[in-house]
Amino acid sequence: MLGARGGIGREISALATGRGMRVHGADRDEIDLRDAASVAPYIERLWAEHGPFDGVVYAAGLFPAAPILETPATVFDDVFAVNTRAALEVGAAAARCAVAAARPLSLVYLSSPAGNRARPGTAVYAASKAALDALVRGFALEGAGRGIRCNAVAPGYTEVGSDINPIPDSYAREVARASPAGRVGVPADIAPVVLWLLGGESAWITGQTLVADGGASLGSPTMPSWLEPG
């Protein structure tokens, strides 16, 4: 698992371990995902030393907020390097190892509903996740005949207490107020969905991005209505 010590990554690792799975997690202390030359060799080394793997979870990501007219190229490059390019490199390296070993493999990525929805300050992040969803479909299509499945989970806003991607409390409160569920997500809402996509119960599902957002993408019950009160 990449991004194993983030809020969602920790929850996935803990739940998987609790279910008797063997998990090898890595985070920014082990690998710099912005360094393109190091990613594939790292995965190949993990496969040789700790594999073979039945599945790979990519939960790493950057979520900077900046107006689109004020976003420097360096931010774009960093976000796409981690959220998209490294995601491709990790999946491709793991898939090559699985194909060489004649083993099936399930890839699961953490995406976002932002890939299909514009919000102020999130254009670069949203673009990286839209591109990630396209990679998921590409992996699924080209890997289907080789035993490779690939899917994504797109969490809505999830409270993870990240020091890399800090979110103002005021934003979280507004998201909770607007949500049909009346709250924001927590990692425990997301981890079981990821494990389901990893496992055999979802064997007939590939190339999909499954939204897990408590209904937030449906719209908000707090929006104005023209219906008269009953």
The predicted model gives 186-201 an average pLDDT of 96
Q: How confident is the model over 117-121, as a mean pLDDT? A: 86
Amino acid at 208: Q
pLDDT (tens digit, 9 = 90+) per residue, 40-75?
999 999 999 998 999 999 999 998 888 999 999 999
Residue 179 confidence (pLDDT) above 90: no
Structure tokens at 153: 């989970």
What are the structure tokens assigned to 150, written together?
A: 């690939």
Phi, psi at 227, each rounded to 5°: -75, 135
pTM for this one? 0.92
> Residue 63, by phi and psi: left (phi above 0), alpha (psi -120 to 50) or beta?
beta
- Report the domain count for the chain: 1
Does a structural domain hold residue 22?
A: yes
Query: In this structure, is residue 220 part of a structural domain?
Result: no
Across 56-70, 133-147, 161-175, least confident range: 161-175
Distance CA(200)–CA(134), nearest Å, equals 23
Q: What percentage of the chain carries pLDDT values higher than 90?
A: 74
State the Cα–Cα distance between residues 173 and 179, nearest whole angstrom.
10
Q: Tell whether 50 is covered by a domain.
A: yes
- Mean pLDDT, all residues of the chain: 92
Residue with the two structure tokens 């809402």:
189
pLDDT digits (tens, 9 = 90+) for 145-156: 999 999 999 999
**Does 1 map to a domain?**
no
Say if strands 105-110 and 55-58 run parallel, antiparallel, or are unpaired.
Answer: parallel
Instruction: Tell me if 223 is assigned to some domain.
Output: no
What is the greatest pairwise CA distance in the chain? 66
What's the rounded Cα separation, in Å, for the pair 122 and 186?
A: 21
Residue 230 clears pLDDT 60, i.e. is over it: no
Range of the domain at 173: 7-215
Of 47-61, 164-178, 211-225, give the lowest mean pLDDT range: 164-178
What's the CATH code of the domain at 80? 3.40.50.720
Residue 157 placed within a domain: yes
Q: In which band, very low, low, confident or very high, does the pLDDT at 161 lie, cut at 50, 70 and 90? A: confident
Q: What is the pLDDT of residue 166?
A: 63
CA contacts within 13 A on the Cβ side of 156: 20
Does residue 19 belong to any structural domain of this protein? yes
